[in-house]
């Protein structure tokens, strides 16, 4: 693709979704490239992925939502970023920030939204004896894990499922779903 959309991924932790987005972005037909990585956690393991792939990254301390978002917007504009993916970014963005970025922000969550927003998703799914679980990619709004759904992947919860096995299963489905969602947005 001649003109890929210059994008930024926000992370707070392991960044395994980030690594798949980077990998897929190297395919000719993938619509975005990752030009910047931002984290609120200077110990995020995902920063090693940024280093390994030679992608610029910035740690912005979360002194307050206002401070974090002001610095983010400055850096995003400086690098001419047009699209934002949240990959395990554990903060809620303000309406003002989302609007000033034209709403072009998407997120992945490890449940079949609108079920099980927030933290401890796997625990809640198992406690409620769900037959199915899944993952969701959606547009970001100021409300936690809400916003228009782009794509969802649904799968069976095994009889002997544990939080750890469900987490692994979900993450493995997330990688493809995230890239499929990005492709579908720019079609
Ligand atoms: C993923 O499972 C993602 O769905 C979840 O954090 C994990 C990040 O993993 N996001 C949320 O819970 C957002 N509410 P990663 O850092 O290895 O990509």
Nearest atom in ligand 1 to 144's CA:
14
109 pocket-lining for ligand 1 (C-beta < 6 Å)? yes
* Ligand 1 centre distance from Cα of residue 100 (Å): 24
* Ligand 1 centre distance from Cα of residue 170 (Å): 10
What is the residue range of 56's domain?
Answer: 5-185
CATH number at residue 174: 3.40.50.170
130 pocket-lining for ligand 1 (C-beta < 6 Å)? no
- Tell me the per-residue pLDDT of 58-74, one tens digit each, with 9 for 90 and over: 999 999 999 999 999 99
Measured CA to CA, the distance from residue 122 to residue 120 in angstroms comes to 6
Question: Which residue out of 109, 135, 165 has the highest number of ligand 1 atoms within 8 Å of its CB and is therefore the one to mutate?
Answer: 109
Q: Which of 4, 20, 106, 109 is catalytic?
A: 109
110 pocket-lining for ligand 1 (C-beta < 6 Å)? yes
pLDDT of residue 5: 97
* 138 noted as active-site residue: no
Low-confidence ranges of the chain (pLDDT < 70): 2
- Tell me the per-residue pLDDT of 27-64, one tens digit each, with 9 for 90 and over: 999 999 999 999 999 999 999 999 999 999 999 999 99
* Ligand 1 centre distance from Cα of residue 11 (Å): 9
CA nearest ligand 1 atom 5, residue: 88
pLDDT of residue 103: 87
> Based on the structure, what is the number of domains in the chain?
1
SS (H, E, C) the chain: CCCCEEEEEEECCCCHHHHHHHHHHCCCCCCEEEEEEEECCCCCCHHHHHHHCCCCEEECCCCCHHHHHHHHHHHHHHCCCCEEEECCCCCCCCHHHHHHCCCCEEEEECCCCCCCCCCCHHHHHHHCCCCEEEEEEEECCCCCCCCCEEEEEEEECCCCCCHHHHHHHHHHHHHHHHHHHHHHHCC
pLDDT of residue 164: 98
Nearest atom in ligand 1 to 118's CA:
14
* Ligand 1 centre distance from Cα of residue 66 (Å): 23
């Amino acid at each position: 693709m001649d003109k890929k959309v210059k994008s930024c991924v926000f992370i707070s932790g392991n960044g395994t979704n980030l690594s798949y987005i980077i990998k897929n972005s190297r395919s000719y037909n993938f619509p975005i490239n990752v030009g910047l990585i931002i984290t609120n956690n200077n110990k995020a393991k995902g920063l090693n992925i940024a280093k390994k792939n030679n992608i610029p990254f910035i740690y912005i301390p979360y002194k307050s939502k206002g401070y974090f978002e002001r610095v983010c917007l400055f850096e995003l504009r400086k690098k001419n970023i047009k699209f934002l993916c949240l990959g395990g970014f554990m903060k809620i963005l303000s309406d003002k920030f989302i609007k000033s970025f034209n709403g072009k922000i998407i997120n992945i969550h490890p449940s079949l939204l609108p079920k099980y927003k927030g933290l401890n998703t796997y625990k809640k799914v198992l406690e409620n004896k769900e037959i199915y679980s899944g993952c969701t990619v959606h547009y970001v709004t100021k409300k936690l894990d809400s916003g228009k759904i782009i794509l969802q992947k649904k799968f069976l919860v095994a009889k002997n499922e544990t939080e750890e096995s469900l987490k692994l299963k979900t993450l493995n489905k997330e990688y493809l779903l995230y890239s499929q969602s990005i492709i579908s947005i720019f079609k």
